[in-house]
């Protein structure tokens, strides 16, 4: 079989500017298979089994196994003890780079800076990635109880105000898929939920209130309050919160003037995002 011509000749120029079928002569099939697998995961599909991967890509199971194993080795996928496959930290990190430059970060920057300045507290913007909150923006008050959080950090959604709020607005089926492998940790804060039933009860309250609070659920000495950000969809695309130390802000203050300021900021960002 004749090899593809080397770059630099007339054939290359014709191929690079030619039809899609000509360009596809340079396709790397193994890479294409790996990208097909990564594209299977989204907010509605945070985890899959190996047979799911094979069925949805049309690959034979042995081929799917090799592709997943390679992506797992490089950190783009993680395989749980029960065999469930989830996006890995390398994939989340790549996503965070794209998200930091996305429109929501750009359009919300000034509003979030003003909110941080007016409240004197730390303000965060986050989205849900599987069962984790991915922090896209953070404007930190120097006096706050320090948490090891920065842009690109992920934390368990079940213990954060942003995470609980976004979980609450999911359909039950979506939430079941997202939380299918949830393990409730004993190392979380003293008020953290310990079971799925406890979490569901708190999510029900959030749906009624329209906001979510975190009161020493993530860690000792921290609390926060979060509200949703919308674009043109019925479900929130993100959420913002105000976080403070328990010695700085009482829950009554968070639910009072700080919540009002937070809601005004969320409305402003949502309007910029195209929400009506």
Domain 93-272 has what CATH class? alpha beta
Integer Rg of the chain from CA: 22
For residue 124, the tally of other CB atoms under 10 A from its CB is 27
Give me the half-sphere count of Cα atoms (radius 13 Å) on the Cβ side of residue 89.
Answer: 5
Instruction: Report the chain's terminal Cα–Cα distance, integer Å.
Output: 59
The third-level CATH classification (topology) of the domain covering 10-87 is Arc Repressor Mutant, subunit A (1.10.10)
Query: Does the pTM exceed 0.75?
Result: no
Can you give the pLDDT at residue 37?
93
Provide the residue ranges of all domains of the chain, joining segments of one domain with +: 10-87, 93-272
Sign of CA dihedral 23, 24, 29, 31: positive
Can you give the pLDDT at residue 170?
93
Nearest to 184 by CA among 200, 173, 208: 200
Q: Tens digit of pLDDT per residue, the chain (276 long)?
A: 333 333 334 333 333 344 444 456 778 888 889 999 998 987 678 889 999 999 999 999 999 999 999 999 988 899 888 889 988 877 766 666 565 556 788 889 999 999 999 999 999 999 888 888 988 889 987 554 445 666 777 889 999 999 999 999 999 998 988 888 788 877 788 899 989 999 999 999 999 999 999 999 988 898 999 999 998 778 898 999 999 988 888 889 999 999 999 999 999 999 988 887
d(CA 119, CA 99): 26
Can you give the pLDDT at residue 97?
57
Can you give the pLDDT at residue 43?
67
| Residues 6+ positions from 73 with CB-CB distance below 8 Å | none
């Amino acid at each position: 079989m004749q090899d593809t011509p080397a770059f630099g000749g007339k054939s290359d120029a014709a191929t690079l500017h030619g039809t899609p079928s000509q360009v596809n002569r340079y396709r790397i099939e193994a890479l294409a298979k790996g990208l097909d697998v990564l594209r299977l995961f989204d907010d509605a599909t945070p985890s899959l089994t190996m047979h799911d991967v094979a069925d949805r890509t049309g690959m034979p199971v042995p081929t799917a196994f090799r592709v997943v194993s390679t992506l797992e080795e490089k950190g783009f996928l993680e395989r749980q003890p029960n065999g469930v496959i989830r996006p890995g930290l390398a994939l989340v990190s790549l996503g965070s780079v794209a998200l930091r430059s996305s429109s929501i970060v750009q359009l919300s920057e000034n509003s979030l800076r003003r909110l941080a300045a007016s409240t004197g507290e730390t303000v965060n913007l986050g989205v849900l990635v599987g069962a984790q909150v991915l922090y896209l923006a953070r404007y930190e008050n120097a006096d706050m109880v320090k948490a090891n959080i920065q842009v690109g950090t992920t934390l368990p959604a079940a213990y954060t105000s942003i995470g609980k709020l976004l979980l609450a607005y999911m359909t039950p089926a979506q939430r079941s898929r997202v939380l299918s492998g949830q393990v409730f940790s004993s190392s979380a804060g003293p008020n953290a939920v310990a079971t799925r039933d406890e979490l569901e009860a708190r999510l029900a309250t959030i749906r009624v209130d329209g906001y979510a609070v975190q009161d020493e659920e993530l860690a000792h000495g921290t609390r926060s309050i979060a509200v949703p950000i919308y674009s043109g969809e019925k479900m929130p695309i993100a959420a913002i919160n105000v976080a403070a130390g328990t010695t700085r802000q009482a829950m009554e203050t968070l639910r009072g003037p700080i919540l009002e300021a937070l809601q005004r900021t969320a409305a402003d960002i949502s309007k910029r995002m195209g929400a009506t």
